[in-house]
Amino acid sequence: PIFGDLNEQVRQVAVDTFVRLGAPALDYAYEAVKDDETLVRTTGLAIYEGLDILPNEGDQAVWYLLAKTTTTNRKTVDREAAAELANQRGDTVSALAQALQDGDPMLRETARCALEMIGKPAGERVLETALTKAKPAAKKWLENRANWHGAPSWRLDLWASATALSPVFKCEKKWTDALQAKGVEARKAMASEKLKPRREYVPLLIAQFSSSPTKTSSSQNTQETIDFFGLKKRIGEEDSGGETTFVAEGKKISGNKNKAFLLAMNRLTAMGEEALSLLIAALNDNDPQVANACAAVLGRIGDERAIAPLLEQLEKRTAEGECLFRSPFYTSLQELGYTSTDGIMLRIRPNDTYAKLLFTQTYEGVQVQLIRSSDGPSPDPDSPVGYKISYLKEGQPNEFTLIFRRTVLGEWIPQPPLPEALPPTLANSSL
């Protein structure tokens, strides 16, 4: 009790006393940094530092580093601290899994982030812990993960296990019933300020994107579903509101189904990092509408951790011959600030963002004022694509036409090639 005394002088006496003990005090410091009380943890840290014997591997190092996160006023996870935890020598997964049950939210999040950095091996072991130690309601929720979009996935397992182990796990039947019902009930729930942005509801929010009634359904409804990303062109689903929608690539969407879709997008975007891992897992979902929607949300969230998974999807989908010209997998990478114009990006039909990026990277000091496509709304996927670029250079307005053609190797490159320097005259080429 003395370690957590409200009187700072009393705590300091305890620190001084245990420091004089020397090495035998290490066990007391270790138990202190594992305590739920911040003052007790602070005392444990002070003993470690007073002894000048800082743990550097295994469970003791994990809890020492985690305890330090509770002494700051940070509102977001310190990713450097998480990386230090992930790279500790010895077996750290068990201690990090135990930390997921801690009462301090920042400590829990740091542990989860470190486990995510460790990767798949951590996911498997944390799942075992959660299935054993989670409370009954949380365990039941966790055991349903095979029905979530994105399953099976180690990311999904780790995210779900961390959520289930949290001491603040809460999943209200009122909201789960409404979100599972979809239709008008789901729309009302998502529009309600009373529905709190909790991780427990993320799988059901992602399910709002689905083009089929259930994750595993392969049957076609007589009323076909809406296509939000131009994956197909067909009549939209008619629901209780009696509205139907025809959705063509790049066109405005409307109707009640679309409202649910957009409400879910807004909810997930606002949740940000809390939904990140499950959104990344769902990039692999068999339902293309779910996968594309999750890619779009990741672009809106703006977390750089989504770049590598999105690039992986680009590689996979390009190899399968998928047209990614307007795909959220492509556009979200650009929203995330991915600036490469090489590699996989060469194999995707360039959009205006890519054209602007290549132009500004090639010619320093230019300011693009306007970029216009010279293509119609549905260009032949193999035909040349051109962009008229209005720009300022040294304060003078100019115009340039950039044309991309697909080579026999499947790469989209400027033809004619970009000159080494921009000419001083307007409109130096034409389509």
Q: What percent of the chain has pLDDT over 90?
A: 58
pLDDT at 381: 77
CA distance 331 to 148: 25
109 has pLDDT over 70: yes
Mean pLDDT: which of 29-38, 156-165, 181-190, 407-416 is highest? 156-165
The pLDDT value given to residue 376: 60
388 beta partners: 372, 401
Please state the separation of Cα 278 from the chain's center in Å.
7
pLDDT number for residue 129:
96
CA dihedral 203, 204, 209, 212 (to 10 degrees): 110
Tell me the pLDDT tens digit for each residue of 16-55. Answer: 888 898 888 989 999 999 998 888 889 899 999 898 888 8
CB 142 within 8 A of CB 131: yes
Instruction: State the pLDDT at residue 217.
Output: 35
Gap between the Cα atoms of 207 and 197, Å rounded: 16
Amino acid at 74: R
CA torsion through residues 251, 252, 255, 257, sign: positive
Burial code (b: 16+ CB inside 10 Å, e: under 16) for 246-257 equals: ebeeeeebebbb
Looking at every residue in the chain, the average pLDDT score rounds to: 85
Residue 233 has pLDDT above 80, yes or no: no
What is the spatial distance between Cα 161 and Cα 49, in angstroms, rounded to a whole number? 34
pLDDT in the model for residue 84: 93
Res. 249: pLDDT tops 90: no
* 357 Cα distance to chain centroid: 24
Following DSSP, what letter does each residue of 89-117 receive, concatenated? BS--HHHHHHHTT-S-HHHHHHHHHHHHH
Residues 111-117: what's their mean pLDDT?
96
Cβ atoms 355, 339 nearer than 8 A: no
Q: Which fold has domain 170-338?
A: Leucine-rich Repeat Variant (1.25.10)
Share of the chain residues as helix, strand and coil, in percent rounded to the nearest 5: 55, 10, 40
Collapsed DSSP state (helix, strand, coil) of residue 370? strand
Q: Using the predicted structure, report yes or no on whether residue 377 has a pLDDT greater than 60.
A: no
Contact 104, 66 (CB under 8 A): no
| Cis ω before 381 (30° cut-off from 0) | no
Q: Judge contact between 204 and 179, C-beta under 8 A.
A: yes
| Residue 235 bridge partners (DSSP) | 246
Lowest mean pLDDT among 102-111, 178-187, 252-261: 252-261
Q: What is the pLDDT of residue 378?
A: 54
pLDDT beyond 60 at 5 = yes
Angstrom CA distances, 184 to 123, 149, 173, 260, 279, stand at 36, 21, 17, 8, 24
Half-sphere exposure in the Cβ direction for 324 (13 Å, CA): 30
How distant is the alpha carbon of residue 212 from its chain centre?
24
Three-state secondary structure call for residue 238: coil
Provide the pairing of β-strand 412-414 with 385-393: unpaired
Question: Dmax over Cα atoms in the chain, in whole Å?
Answer: 83
In the block, tokens 């595993």 appear at: 216
Would the pTM of this model clear 0.75, i.e. be above it?
Answer: yes
pLDDT band at 425 (very low <50, low <70, confident <90, very high): low
Q: Which two tokens stand for residue 88?
A: 């500790």
pLDDT at residue 67 in the model: 93
Residue 320 has pLDDT above 50, yes or no: yes
Give which of 97, 74, 75 is closest to 85, Cα–Cα: 97
> 279-304 pLDDT, tens per residue?
999 999 999 999 999 999 999 999 99
How far apart are alpha carbons 261 and 377 in whole angstroms? 24
Contact (Cβ atoms closer than 8 angstroms) between residue 270 and residue 197: yes
Q: Quote the DSSP letter at residue 356.
A: H
Contact 71, 37 (CB under 8 A): no
For residues 309 and 116, what is the distance between their CA atoms, to the nearest angstrom? 14
**Burial of 112: CB neighbours in 10 Å, binned 0-12, 13-18, 19+:** buried
Look at residue 179 in the predicted model and tell me its pLDDT. 95
For residue range 47-94, what is the model confidence (pLDDT) as tens digits? 998 988 888 888 999 999 999 998 888 888 999 999 999 998 888 999
What number is the average pLDDT over the span 400-423? 92
CA angle in degrees (0–180, nearest 5) for 347-348-352: 135
Q: How far apart are CA 26 and CA 18, in angstroms?
A: 9
